[in-house]
């Protein structure tokens, strides 16, 4: 029985034999699956791919714009920093110039004050000298008149005569001193 069973099974279905109904059914199912994938799955993948591409490109554009903004802010900051340094240098230079000007003004004022004090002192010394000289002339004249009166033996009490004699005596003294 076994041999007939084997022979019957071998005739019925050969592993190399093509079963047309299965082949057609497989092709139809395959076509339906390919159609369903093309119709429903591929558009979803395309949409997801497009969304993802748009998101990446948008992210790149945002990153580029943020980078441009950051570079612009850095350039602006650098320019402001350079300008601030320039202003600080200008302020320092101006302060130095003002300091030098103030020092020069103070020196000029001090020198003018010193010259004023010196001229006042010279004038005061000259006035005191003239006063002392006048007082000395008076005393020397008085002493000379008394001495001359004693030597001559006559009185020189007359003011006009006394004045002339004193003046002549002082003139002779000044000539001998020079």
pLDDT one digit per residue (tens) for the chain, 178 residues: 455 544 555 556 677 787 889 899 999 999 999 999 999 999 999 999 999 999 898 888 888 999 999 999 999 999 999 999 999 999 999 999 999 999 999 999 999 999 999 999 999 998 888 888 888 877 777 777 777 667 765 665 666 777 777 778 778 877 887 7
Phi/psi at 16 (5° precision): -95, -10
SS (H, E, C) the chain: CHHHHHHHHHHHCCCCCCCHHHHHHHHHHHHHHHHHHHHHHHHHHHHHHHHHHHHHHHHHHHHHHHHHHHHHHHHHHHHHHHHHHHHHHHHHHHHHHHHHHHHHHHHHHHHHHHHHHHHHHHHHHHHHHHHHHHHHHHHHHHHHHHHHHHHHCCCCCCHHHHHHHHHHHHHHHHHHHC
CA 37, CA 46: separation in Å to the nearest integer? 12
CA 2, CA 11: separation in Å to the nearest integer? 14
């Amino acid at each position: 029985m076994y041999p007939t069973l084997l022979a019957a099974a071998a005739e019925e279905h050969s592993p190399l034999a093509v079963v047309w109904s299965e082949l057609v059914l497989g092709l139809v199912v395959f076509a339906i699956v390919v159609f369903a994938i093309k119709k429903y799955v591929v558009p979803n993948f395309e949409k997801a791919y497009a969304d993802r591409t748009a998101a990446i490109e948008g992210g790149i554009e945002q990153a580029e714009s943020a980078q441009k903004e950051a570079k612009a802010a850095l350039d602006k900051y650098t320019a402001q920093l350079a300008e601030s340094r320039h202003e600080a240098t200008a302020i320092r230079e101006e302060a130095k110039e003002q300091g030098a000007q103030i020092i020069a003004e103070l020196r000029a004022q001090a020198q003018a004050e010193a010259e004023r004090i010196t001229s006042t002192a010279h004038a005061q010394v000259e006035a005191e000298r003239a006063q002392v000289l006048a007082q000395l002339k008076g005393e020397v004249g008085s002493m000379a008149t008394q001495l001359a009166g004693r030597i001559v033996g006559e009185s020189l009490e007359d003011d006009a005569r006394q004045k002339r004699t004193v003046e002549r005596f002082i003139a002779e003294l000044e000539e001998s001193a020079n």
